[in-house]
Amino acid sequence: MAKGKILAVVAALALVSPAMAGGDAEAGKSKSASCAACHGTDGNSAAATFPKIAGQHADYIAKQLADYKSGARQNALMVGQVAALSEQDMADLGAYFATEKGTIGKANDETLAAGEAIYRGGIPETGAAACMACHGINGAGMPGAGFPQLRGQFADYTKAQLMAFRDGSRNNDGASVMRSMAKRMTDDEITAVAEYIEGLN
């Protein structure tokens, strides 16, 4: 994808990114007990199948919770968790987890070079854009445009999400950006970039 097209996509997403109600981190902490079983008390999950949400952008967390509640994003476990949450509850939870510090894992040495090349340079042969164009050089994301923090995320979780975007079972990405990118990646390329992201900081 040409640089001009990437900038156009970023600008478009910035315009459609929903404005969430301001969250209260202290209130969010008091509401987070049910999150701890899967995501840890501070948002650093101990299981690679559950994402780390510590340090994630508040609005992104709130949007994902809202998407689970509306059905825009599917997950049987999360549907039950969000059923009773109000918009303010979601904003408060987002505000709380955003204040926590995410842990960083370790990249796989065997796929490090391939993963870094994709993250920083994309895949020119298929037109997949560099991940850092939206998620930043160090994986911090772009909260204003709705692009999440990736750094330190479990490789298993990142890989599962890329696969879901690729097969269309996850489709709550603005302007189909992630679905478009994932469709341009092979299984090995997805694995390599996911393993690189786990050690990114």
CB 45 within 8 A of CB 52: yes
Reported as a single tens digit per residue, the pLDDT across 107-138 is 999 999 999 999 999 999 999 999 999 999 99
Please give the pLDDT value at position 131.
98
Q: Write down the domain spans for the chain.
A: 18-99, 105-198
* pLDDT tens digit at each of 201 positions of the chain: 455 444 444 444 443 344 445 999 999 999 999 999 999 999 999 999 999 999 999 999 999 999 999 999 999 999 999 999 999 999 999 999 999 999 999 999 999 999 999 999 999 999 999 999 999 999 999 999 999 999 999 999 999 999 999 999 999 999 999 999 999 999 999 999 999 999 999
Report CA Rg, the chain: 16
List Cβ neighbours of 9 (8 Å cut-off, separation of 6 or more).
Answer: 1, 175, 177
Choosing among 1.10.760.10, 3.60.21.10, 2.40.240.10, 3.40.630.30, the CATH entry for 18-99 is 1.10.760.10
Please give the pLDDT value at position 70.
98
Q: Name the nearest CA neighbour of 183 among 195, 196, 170, 201.
A: 170
Choosing among 1.10.760.10, 2.130.10.10, 3.30.43.10, 3.30.413.10, the CATH entry for 105-198 is 1.10.760.10
* CATH topology identical between 18-99 and 105-198: yes
Q: How many Å apart are CA 138 and CA 149, to the nearest integer? A: 9
* Mean pLDDT of all residues belonging to the chain: 92
